[in-house]
A and B are shown apart, each in its own frame.
Chain A
Amino acid sequence: MIEIRWHGRGGQGAKTASLLLADAAFNTGRYIQGFPEYGPERMGAPITAYNRISTEPITIHSNIYEPDYVVVVDDTLLDSVDVTAGLKKEGAIVINTTKGADEIRPKLKNYEGEVYTIDARKISLETLGKYFPNTPMLAAIVKVSKVMTDEELLNDMEGSFKHKFAKKPEVIEGNMNALKMALNEVKKI
């Protein structure tokens, strides 16, 4: 079983991204859970969302305290949230940031595992013209966690986008391009 914890800010789509990941993993035949931790939600407040993905039925129904992977959708959270809490050192953290290793590493409390970064803002602005970090972050975590192949993700998401954006077909291509760019641009630091 792979456990993933998402850290974002209300309105950035971390919850949606966790549900999209659950959907995509479901479509590759897995057992899945996708759920947010509901708090006093408001735009900009820190939020947490979770995924469990397994080849076996999942019975545990708690939040995730020892994740295999962590996704940070907003790097300003690194100053206020203990994002690496419980994160397995065999796992990895993926951060949406423009900053380099020298700036990011010190904020991760000596986390020993792999650290990946991606500039989801740039990708989103280039492909969608607006800042929606969740689509690039979804691709980044798939790439890093290998819960499915790039091809499986792209095929599945194309179907989802066609369904989701049936009335706005013009945004499908942009979202697909955002996924493809993110798959290429996520990098280990």
Chain B
Amino acid sequence: MSIRERLSGNEAAAIAMKQINPDVVAAFPITPSTEIPQYFSTFVSNGAVDTEFVAVESEHSAMSACIGAEAAGSRAMTATSANGLSLMWEMIYIASSLRLPIVMSLVNRAVSGPLNIHNDHSDAMGVRDAGWIMLFSENNQEAYDNLLMAHRIAEHKDVLLPLMVCQDGFITSHSIENIELVEDEKVKEFVGKYKPEHYLLNRNEPMAIGPLDVQPYLFEHKYQQANAMRNAKKVIEEVSKEFEKMTGRKYSFFEEYKLDDAEIAIVCMNSTAGTTKYVVDALRAKGVKAGLLKLRMFRPFPAEEIAKALSHLKAVAVLDKSDSLNGAGGALFEDVASSMYVNNEHVPIVNYVYGIGGRDTTSYDIEGVYKDLEEIAKTGKIDNPYRYFGVRREK
């Protein structure tokens, strides 16, 4: 029997960490993720976990401490947001290239400036090529569930990559909602013990970590990293199936919501997917064949599967909660559009940048997107594929 609770997204992440009981947590507070290490530190003080909590002086040090801990052979976790992640930047790449399966809770927030503490995905998009597995979460439940699955995926011998679980700052991190928790014992059994094959504190196998890697070697190491990311797909699928057996909650690379017989669809991530479901239900009641593809696994990117899932549609809108400021499309749009093109699926596709800096994403906004899609489906015409909604601008 699962445990019926009501928790904020941050509480849910902290409880997941408590149940995982990692060896080391190193973190520095930054809004809106601050509560995660804050709650976790109380678990440490109360003896609910036996984790070594390292209260570092910056996020660069937080990631460095996680790298040291993980390389030594222990399980390490952290949490951060936006500029905290920016300060980790250097070490984010070191973590993945050293193949250290560190797990991070990333509570998505706009990267300054000007200074803004509210939600968008610019922090996550900034590390999309850093070699981390990236899972996105619609609500507190998914943030919790993704964390419970994280170590099994990251630590798998075919993967050995760090993993971040994203959720929307404030929108889910600070909203109290219903959640089903898994019993402590079941989590412990599911997550299992961390048994690294190679680690620094193994005196029988002295080794160097992160030495100079010049022209004859770096390329091969990067190629191995890329292959590990490819391998992660199969592992994510397997672990998700096992998780479903335990909880009844089904997770795939993405969720297809009323997509099978849809004619128009939105592709998006995190909490906006929930609002989109609400709108899809309302439109379906009016006979509009609207659907949703909610992406959970952004890295690795399920290109072939997405192209197939969208192939039958008459028009698709990809929503980016981060502006790539490139004069063209947002990051998610580029990935989806290239997936379609490469897999020879030619469906009219448009991009909307939205929700920047915590601008509220309303059901009316989403309805507007579906309205545009109906028009595109009818005429096949796209005047401007690079669109925005929710922004004020000069007429």
A interface, CB within 8 angstroms of B: 19, 22-23, 26, 31-36, 38, 57-63, 65
| Chain B residues with CB under 8 A of A34 | 175-176
| Band of interface residues on B | 20 to 34
Q: Is B41 part of the contact surface with A, judged by Cβ < 8 Å?
A: no
B278 pairs with A38, CB closer than 8 A: no
| Chain A residues with CB under 8 A of B170 | 35, 38
B361 pairs with A23, CB closer than 8 A: no
B176 pairs with A62, CB closer than 8 A: no
Please indicate which of the listed interface residues A35, A57, A58 has the most CB atoms of chain B within 10 Å of its own CB.
A35
What's the minimum C-beta distance from A28 to chain B, rounded to whole angstroms?
12
Q: Is B318 part of the contact surface with A, judged by Cβ < 8 Å?
A: no
What's the minimum C-beta distance from A37 to chain B, rounded to whole angstroms?
8
Name which residue of chain A comes closest to B32, CB basis: A38
B178 pairs with A31, CB closer than 8 A: yes
Given contacts A57-B178, A65-B362, contact A26 B6 (CB under 8 A): yes
B178 pairs with A63, CB closer than 8 A: no
B274 pairs with A60, CB closer than 8 A: yes
Name which residue of chain B comes closest to A65, CB basis: B362
Name which residue of chain A comes closest to B274, CB basis: A59
**Interchain CB contact (< 8 A) of A58 among B172, B177, B360, B361:** B177
- Residues of B161-215 whose CB lies within 8 A of A: 168, 170-172, 174-178
CA distance A22 to B274 in the complex (A): 19
A32 pairs with B139, CB closer than 8 A: no
B171 pairs with A38, CB closer than 8 A: no
B interface, CB within 8 angstroms of A: 6, 117-118, 138-139, 168, 170-172, 174-178, 271-272, 274-275, 277-278, 358, 360-364
CA distance A54 to B159 in the complex (A): 42
| Chain A residues with CB under 8 A of B6 | 22-23, 26, 32
What's the minimum C-beta distance from B350 to chain A, rounded to whole angstroms?
22
**Interchain CB contact (< 8 A) of B175 among A23, A57, A61:** A61
CA distance A22 to B175 in the complex (A): 10
CA distance A60 to B118 in the complex (A): 18
A61 pairs with B272, CB closer than 8 A: yes
CA distance A133 to B217 in the complex (A): 67
| Chain A residues with CB under 8 A of B176 | 19, 22-23, 32-35
B174 pairs with A36, CB closer than 8 A: yes
A61 pairs with B271, CB closer than 8 A: yes
CA distance A19 to B176 in the complex (A): 7
**A-B contacts, 27 listed (Cβ < 8 Å):** A19-B176, A22-B176, A23-B6, A26-B6, A31-B177, A31-B178, A32-B6, A32-B178, A33-B175, A33-B176, A33-B177, A34-B175, A35-B171, A35-B174, A38-B117, A38-B170, A38-B174, A58-B177, A59-B274, A59-B278, A61-B139, A61-B172, A61-B271, A62-B275, A62-B361, A63-B360, A63-B362
| Chain B residues with CB under 8 A of A57 | 178
Please indicate which of the listed interface residues A23, A61, A63 has the most CB atoms of chain B within 10 Å of its own CB.
A61
Please indicate which of the listed interface residues B168, B171, B176 has the most CB atoms of chain A within 10 Å of its own CB.
B176
CA distance A66 to B330 in the complex (A): 31
| Chain A residues with CB under 8 A of B138 | 59
What's the minimum C-beta distance from B324 to chain A, rounded to whole angstroms?
24
Given contacts A26-B6, A59-B275, contact A32 B177 (CB under 8 A): yes
| Chain B residues with CB under 8 A of A58 | 177
